[in-house]
């Protein structure tokens, strides 16, 4: 009993080779596209967080130094934390991220010096990698033009959970594979049809 693999006919071999090549190209393209999408989302989150922090810093910079502590207490306590050198320590337990610090420095402008900036998970989140929200706490330590150093942090609520996308992705991939298989089969038949006619003509002449 002979096995169906490896295929012996030229048509099946060409069909499988073409289908495998196209599927590999599609999978690689999708992987690169998803990776680029992740980078774009990460960059968008960084710039959005930097803009929110920069807006609040500009509001504080417009106030006299002695009024900034009172203004900080008027902010929503569950969302914003602002500390000055006069009323608390301006040191943060989170490591500074140079890339985010650069983005924040561009957002605030030259009038405010960004000494450190960070983006981190909520310490209360213990669900493990991939299950916690991508960004929960963003903050910075800055120096105003009047030489007052301020620590500012914003805590963001987690986004609403998204439904799992594994099943639709697999279904779409199977549909795409089926379409590619049909197209590849017709392409192989179209290519081999002249060869079959030539072979029949050659056999007829003996």
Label each residue of the chain as H, E or C: CCCCCCCCCHHHHHHHHHHHHHHHHHHHHHHHHHHHHHHHHHHHHHHHHHHHHHHHHHHHHCCCHHHHHHHHHCCCCCCEEEEECCCCCCCCCCCCCHHHHHHHHHHHCCCCEEEEEEEECCCCCCCCCCCCCCCCEEEEEEECCCCCEEEEEEECCCCCCCCCCHHHHHHHHHHHHHHHHHHHHHHHHHHHHHHHHHHHHHHHHC
Q: What is the mean pLDDT of the chain?
A: 77
Task: Give the pLDDT band of residue 199 (cuts 50, 70, 90).
Answer: confident
Q: What percent of the chain has pLDDT over 70?
A: 76
**What's the mean pLDDT in 94-118?**
88
pLDDT per position as a tens digit, 109-156: 999 999 989 887 655 554 444 555 555 788 999 999 998 999 999 887
- Give the count of beta carbons closer than 10 Å to the beta carbon of residue 37: 10
| CA–CA separation, 48 and 154 (whole Å) | 12
Query: How high is the pLDDT of residue 113?
Result: 93
Q: Is the omega angle on the peptide bond into residue 2 within 30 degrees of 0, that is, cis? A: no
Please determine, for residue 71, whether its predicted confidence score (pLDDT) is greater than 50: yes
Q: What is the CA radius of gyration of the chain?
A: 30
Backbone angles phi, psi at 83, to 5 degrees: -125, 135
Mean pLDDT of the 173-191 span: 79
The pLDDT value given to residue 134:
53
């Amino acid at each position: 009993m002979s096995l169906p693999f490896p295929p012996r006919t030229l048509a099946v071999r060409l069909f499988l080779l073409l289908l495998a090549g196209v599927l590999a190209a599609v999978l690689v393209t999708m992987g690169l596209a998803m990776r680029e999408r992740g980078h774009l989302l990460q960059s968008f989150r960084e710039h959005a967080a930097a803009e929110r922090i920069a807006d609040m810093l500009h509001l504080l910079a417009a106030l006299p130094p002695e009024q900034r502590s009172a203004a900080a207490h008027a902010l929503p306590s569950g969302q914003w934390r602002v500390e000055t050198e006069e009323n608390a320590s301006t040191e943060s337990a989170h490591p500074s991220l140079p890339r985010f610090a650069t983005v924040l420095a561009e957002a605030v402008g030259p009038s405010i010096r960004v000494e450190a900036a960070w983006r981190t998970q909520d310490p209360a989140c213990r669900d493990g990698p991939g299950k916690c929200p991508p960004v929960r706490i963003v903050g910075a330590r800055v120096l105003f033009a009047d030489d007052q150093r301020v620590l500012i942090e914003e805590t963001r609520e987690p986004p609403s959970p998204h439904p799992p996308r594994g099943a639709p992705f697999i279904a779409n991939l199977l549909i795409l594979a089926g379409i590619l298989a049909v197209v590849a089969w017709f392409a192989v038949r179209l290519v081999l049809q002249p060869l079959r006619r030539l072979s029949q003509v050659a056999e007829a002449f003996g």
